[in-house]
Structure 1
């Protein structure tokens, strides 16, 4: 006795399995498009003249989702904060937005990192290691080359 429904059921099960595999492939491609993809460039620290220092860099997000810079840590200071400057007034903020397909620019005269109570005073030519912490993305380690006190990349 031969069953007629068996081959049809097997074919349907195989088709369903192939559909699930195809959907899983799409989901993972969509996940990449829906995640931040961060890259740091242009990092530097002007040589400090006191026990405080500032740091500047650009975080570019080529991903399809926004992220936030939430904190910064460094061995050179126990207190590294993030500041914005608006209307010539500096104030500490909890985070900076990094839009999808956009960038966060920390530059002289604007938003920046602030290193308070330096443990050692870095000299021009040294590199200061920092770790950037984000809301969604894993931390990124960056070396800030110490430049002359008046260094401004827009003028070089």
Structure 2
């Protein structure tokens, strides 16, 4: 090999090596972003109408997703009850579901006559003015602790009338 060929080969090898480092760094950054890029969720208008009986209660709230990544509400836990489920209402029929979608850059509304949280076998009966702490669990986002204000039985959030 002459000196010119050796120099060209070394230069090509160095360029290829630099390109491979750049590509692996880019792909590494991309996977870290996807892994750590959890949806940005916030909760508002959380309330529970005062339960009629000590057996069951409903919970209502609004989950806002301020990110481009969709998520799902998968469960709710609370010291008030060990039996908390998520329900949706379709065709005027209430049914338990395993999750509810929280759309990317969108809103999930849990409201009267629609999707809601159902508490069964209450450990105590909340009264107007009490606060019930719940933890919302999502498929991607970290759990979110929320306080449901216990309101009069006829109360309806102003947010639930804004579709």
- SS of residue paired to 2:147: strand
Count of residue pairs brought into register by the alignment = 153
Equivalent position to 1:42, from 42, 45, 49: 45
Alignment of 1:141 with 2:148, yes or no, is no
Unaligned runs of 5+ in 2: 1-6
Aligned equivalent of 1:83: 87
Task: Give the structure-1-normalised TM-score.
Answer: 0.80
Aligned equivalent of 2:76: 72
Cα shift readout 1:106-152 (whole Å, capped 9, x = no counterpart): 01111000001111000111100101111111211111010111101
Unaligned runs of 5+ in 1: none
Superposed CA RMSD in Å reads: 2.7
User: How do residues 5-154 of structure 1 correspond to structure 2 at under 5 angstroms?
Assistant: 31=34, 35-51=38-54, 52-154=56-158
Task: Give the structure-2-normalised TM-score.
Answer: 0.77
